[in-house]
């Protein structure tokens, strides 16, 4: 019986084209997804800024709004440009407005989808007036100098190099001056102005021409009570009165 030679059968495995490999297909799908998202959010005109609106004030000019639009709405984007609301740097708009307008207390820029940029502005309200000789400035409740004003209301003088947009006096001192003026008016003493002499001393000039020396750190009601007692019991004629010094507790001095 003859032996047949058996040969091993070899099969040739077909190669999968590289573009059909699962890994590359996954990468392709991811890139495609990124491109779609990029186009949708940054190039789709549905999200292009149609208007920049300001709420809270009316004094910002149309020219300034156009400048904001020119500087911050049109954005260079690789080989093209975009007006997408998603690319508008809101924090830069807020910073520029606060920097340009000292009377702005706060700015809140937000996106109102799909195509509006809304800028909400809160103005500083004058609380007292800081004067240097014949020039006065409005000061808000935080003690910030924000606009040139005129002599009126509660006026205080203080040696300071504060510029517009900077704090010239603390909130606590403003409240002290307001409370002092109110309590003095209740005992028929009208204040002309306040002179902040130091960190803890403030002199009150009355319309009658005499002054009262106060401490910021002491209770204002107690100091007014001491003042009232001295006026009732010790001083009959205020025409020659120069000052009443209330800085030493119950030991009150006058001249």
Q: 3-state secondary structure string, 48-65?
A: ECCEEEEECCCCCCHHHH
| Cβ within 8 Å of residue 73, ≥6 positions away | 49, 52, 83, 88, 117
pLDDT of residue 191: 96
Q: Which CATH class is domain 23-123?
A: alpha beta
Pick the CATH number of 128-254 from 3.40.50.11690, 3.30.200.20, 1.20.120.1750, 3.40.640.10: 3.40.50.11690
Average pLDDT over residues 21-28: 75
pLDDT of residue 5: 56
* 47 within 8 A of 85, measured Cβ to Cβ: yes
Domain definitions of the chain by residue range: 23-123, 128-254
Confidence of residue 14 (pLDDT cuts 50, 70, 90): low
21 pLDDT higher than 90: no
Question: How high does pLDDT run on average in the chain?
Answer: 89
Average pLDDT over residues 182-207: 96
pLDDT of residue 187: 93
């Amino acid at each position: 019986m003859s032996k047949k030679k058996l040969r091993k059968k070899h099969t040739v495995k077909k190669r999968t084209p590289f573009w059909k490999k699962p890994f590359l297909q996954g990468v392709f799908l991811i890139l495609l997804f990124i491109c779609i998202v990029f186009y949708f959010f940054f190039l789709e005109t549905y999200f292009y800024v149609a208007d920049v609106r300001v709420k809270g004030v009316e004094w910002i000019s149309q020219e300034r709004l156009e400048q904001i639009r020119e500087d911050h709405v049109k954005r260079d984007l690789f080989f093209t440009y975009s007006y997408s609301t998603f690319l508008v740097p809101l924090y830069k708009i807020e910073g520029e407005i606060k920097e340009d307008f000292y009377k702005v207390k706060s700015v809140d820029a937000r996106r109102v989808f799909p195509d509006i940029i809304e800028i909400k502005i809160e103005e500083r309200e004058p609380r007292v007036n800081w004067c240097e000789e014949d020039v006065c400035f409005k000061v808000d409740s935080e003690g910030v100098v924000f606009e040139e004003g005129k002599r009126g209301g509660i006026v205080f003088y203080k040696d300071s190099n504060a510029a517009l947009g900077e704090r010239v006096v603390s909130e606590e001192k403003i409240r002290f001056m307001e409370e002092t003026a109110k309590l003095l008016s209740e005992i028929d003493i009208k204040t002309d102005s306040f002179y902040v002499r130091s960190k803890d001393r403030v002199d009150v000039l009355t319309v009658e021409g005499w002054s009262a020396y106060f401490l910021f750190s002491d209770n204002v009601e107690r100091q007014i009570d001491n003042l009232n007692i001295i006026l009732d019991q010790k001083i009959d004629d205020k025409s020659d009165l120069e000052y009443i010094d209330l800085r030493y507790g119950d030991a009150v001095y006058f001249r």
